[in-house]
C-alpha cells in the first residue's frame, strides 16, 4: 500500500537516511529545495506557491493559478508528520507523504485548466484539510519520444494488471475451497503485478484503500478488506469461509483495475514520479517489514516495486537521455546496485521466489536500506528530467 513518502525538481539535499538501528519507517526531512513533478510538460507560474501546513490548517497562498508547471512550496509548521495531495476530483494528481514537523518540501506539478484541491493531512490520516485551487489555461502536446514512452508504459501497466486477474482468481478459488496451503502459495505471486504498477492504481482513488489497506493503517470506521485481510486470515488460522466475500471483492477490484488502465492519466512526469513512489514503498513498508506482517513475503513486494520503478525508468530513458544524460548514467548504476543487493535472497523453493523476511537479519536490512537510499535521491529527479526541468 502506498502509505508514506514522495518526490523532486531542483538540486536536492540528501534525503534523511532510514534510521539504521531500527530500520523504522522513513520520514523525509529534505531541505526546501527538494521537489517533485507530475503532469505533462508545459509552461506555467514562475514563482512557488507557499503552502503552510499545520495540525489544523492548510493555507495555500494563491488559489487562482495559470496552467502549466506550478511548484507548491510546502512547510510543515505542525507537530505531526503530514502529507500533501493534489486532487482532480477523486483522482490523485500528485502527492508528498512523510513531511516531518519543521521541514519543507517543494512539490511541482503540471496542471491543465480546471479546479483542483490541495489537501494537507496532518498525521497522514483522513480526507485532509482542503483548499480549492482554480487553474486557467495550460496545455501542451507530447513530443514523439514522450508519446512513445507513455504508450510503452501504459502497455506495461495493462500487462501487469491483466496478469494479476487470473492469479487472484486462483487465490479466490483456493480460499473458497478452504485450501489454506494452496492459498498461501498463491498470495505473494498474486501481488507482484499490483506492486509493480501501484501508483497508477492509486491514482483512481477508490481502489487502493479497498485492495491494499494494512490493518495498522485502518482509520476509524474503515473496513478491513483486500489482500492484507486475506493474508491475516491465511496465516493466523482463521476460518477461511468468513473471508470468501473479501476474496470475491478483491477479484472484482483487480478486474476493474484492468478495465480502467486504458483511461488512466499517464504522462512522462507521472511515470517518473511513480517510479519514486514505488521506491518509497520499499523504504517505508518492505524494508521495515510492515507490509506483510503475517506472511513475511516483503521481499516479493520489494522486487515488484523495484522492477516497476526500473521499467518506468526504461521507458523514459530516451526522453531523459536528451535532457539529463548524467542522470541516466547514475540511475542505471544505482538500479543495478539495488538488484544486486536483492539477488542473494532469491529462493526458487518459496512462493514468490524470495526468502521469508523474518530470516533477514538487522544488518542485512540495513544494507538493503543503504542501497535503496542511494537510489532514492537520483530517482526523485526522474519526473523533473522527463519534463525538461533540469
Name all domains of the chain by residue range, CATH numbers in brackets: 42-136 (2.60.40.420), 144-386 (1.20.1420.20)
Of 24-33, 210-219, 257-266, 314-323, the least confident: 24-33
User: What global pTM score does this model have?
Assistant: 0.82
* Most distant pair of Cα atoms in the chain: their distance: 60
Instruction: Decide: 273 and 37 in contact? Cβ < 8 Å.
Output: yes
Q: What are the backbone dihedrals phi and psi of residue 275, each rounded to the nearest 5 degrees, phi first?
A: -60, -40
**CB 69, CB 44: distance < 8 Å:** yes
Query: Is 342 within 8 Å of 375 (Cβ atoms)?
Result: no
Distance CA 148, CA 320 (A): 13
Q: Of the ranges 259-273, 291-305, 311-325, which one carries the lowest mean pLDDT score?
A: 259-273
The whole-angstrom separation of Cα 140 and Cα 113 is 11
Q: What is the 3-state secondary structure of 51-104?
A: EEECCCCEEECCCEEECEEEEEEEEECCCCCEEEEEEECCEEEEEEEEECCCCE
| DSSP for residue 207 | H
How does residue 1 score in pLDDT terms, banded at 50, 70 and 90? low
* pLDDT value, residue 139: 64
Burial class (CB in 10 A: 0-12, 13-18, 19+), 80: middle
Residue pair 307/196 in contact (Cβ under 8 Å)? The answer is yes
Q: What is the 3-state composition of the chain as percent helix, strand, coil, each rounded to the nearest 5?
A: 50, 15, 35
Q: What is the pLDDT of residues 86-111, one digit of tens each?
A: 999 888 888 887 788 999 887 777 78
Please check the confidence at residue 147 and state whether its pLDDT lies above 90: yes
The per-residue pLDDT for 221 is 85
Which of 105-114, 128-137, 307-316, 361-370 is predicted with the least confidence, judged by mean pLDDT? 105-114
Amino acid at each position: 500500500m502506498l502509505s508514506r513518502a514522495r518526490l523532486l525538481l531542483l538540486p536536492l539535499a540528501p534525503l534523511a537516511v532510514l534510521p539504521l538501528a531500527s530500520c523504522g519507517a522513513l520520514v523525509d526531512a529534505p531541505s526546501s529545495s527538494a521537489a517533485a513533478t507530475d503532469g505533462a510538460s508545459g509552461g506555467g507560474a514562475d514563482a512557488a506557491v507557499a503552502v503552510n501546513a499545520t495540525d489544523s490548517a492548510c493555507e495555500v497562498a494563491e488559489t487562482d493559478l495559470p496552467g502549466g508547471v506550478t511548484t507548491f512550496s510546502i512547510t510543515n509548521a505542525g507537530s505531526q508528520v503530514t502529507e500533501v495531495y493534489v486532487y482532480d476530483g477523486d483522482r490523485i494528481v500528485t502527492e508528498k507523504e512523510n513531511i516531518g514537523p519543521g521541514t519543507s518540501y517543494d512539490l511541482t506539478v503540471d496542471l491543465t485548466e480546471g479546479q483542483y484541491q490541495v489537501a494537507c493531512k496532518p498525521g497522514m490520516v483522513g480526507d485532509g484539510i482542503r483548499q480549492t485551487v482554480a487553474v486557467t489555461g495550460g496545455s501542451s502536446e507530447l513530443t514523439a519520444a514522450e508519446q512513445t514512452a507513455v504508450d510503452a508504459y501504459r502497455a506495461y501497466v495493462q500487462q501487469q494488471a491483466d496478469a494479476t486477474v487470473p492469479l487472484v482468481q486462483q487465490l479466490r478459488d483456493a480460499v473458497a475451497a478452504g485450501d489454506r496451503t494452496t492459498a498461501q502459495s498463491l498470495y505473494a505471486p498474486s501481488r507482484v503485478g499490483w506492486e509493480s504498477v501501484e501508483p497508477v492504481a492509486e491514482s483512481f482513488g477508490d481502489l487502493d484503500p479497498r485492495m491494499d489497506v494494512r490493518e495498522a493503517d485502518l482509520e476509524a470506521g474503515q473496513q478491513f478488506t483486500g489482500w492484507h485481510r486475506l493474508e491475516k486470515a491465511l496465516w493466523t488460522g482463521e476460518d477461511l469461509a468468513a473471508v470468501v466475500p473479501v476474496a470475491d471483492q478483491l477479484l472484482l477490484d483487480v478486474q476493474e483495475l484492468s478495465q480502467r488502465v486504458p483511461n488512466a492519466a499517464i504522462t512522462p512526469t507521472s511515470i517518473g514520479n511513480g517510479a519514486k513512489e514505488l521506491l518509497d514503498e520499499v523504504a517505508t513498508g518492505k524494508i521495515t517489514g510492515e507490509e506483510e506482517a503475517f506472511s513475511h513475503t516483503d521481499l516479493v513486494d520489494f522486487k515488484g516495486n523495484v522492477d516497476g520503478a526500473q521499467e518506468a525508468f526504461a521507458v523514459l530513458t530516451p526522453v531523459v537521455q536528451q535532457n539529463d544524460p548524467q542522470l541516466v548514467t547514475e540511475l542505471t548504476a544505482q538500479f543495478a546496485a539495488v538488484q544486486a543487493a536483492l539477488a542473494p535472497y532469491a529462493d526458487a523453493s518459496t512462493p514468490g521466489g524470495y526468502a521469508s523476511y523474518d530470516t533477514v537479519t538487522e544488518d542485512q536490512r540495513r544494507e538493503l536500506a543503504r542501497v535503496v537510499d542511494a537510489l532514492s535521491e537520483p530517482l526523485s529527479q526522474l519526473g523533473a528530467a522527463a519534463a525538461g526541468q533540469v
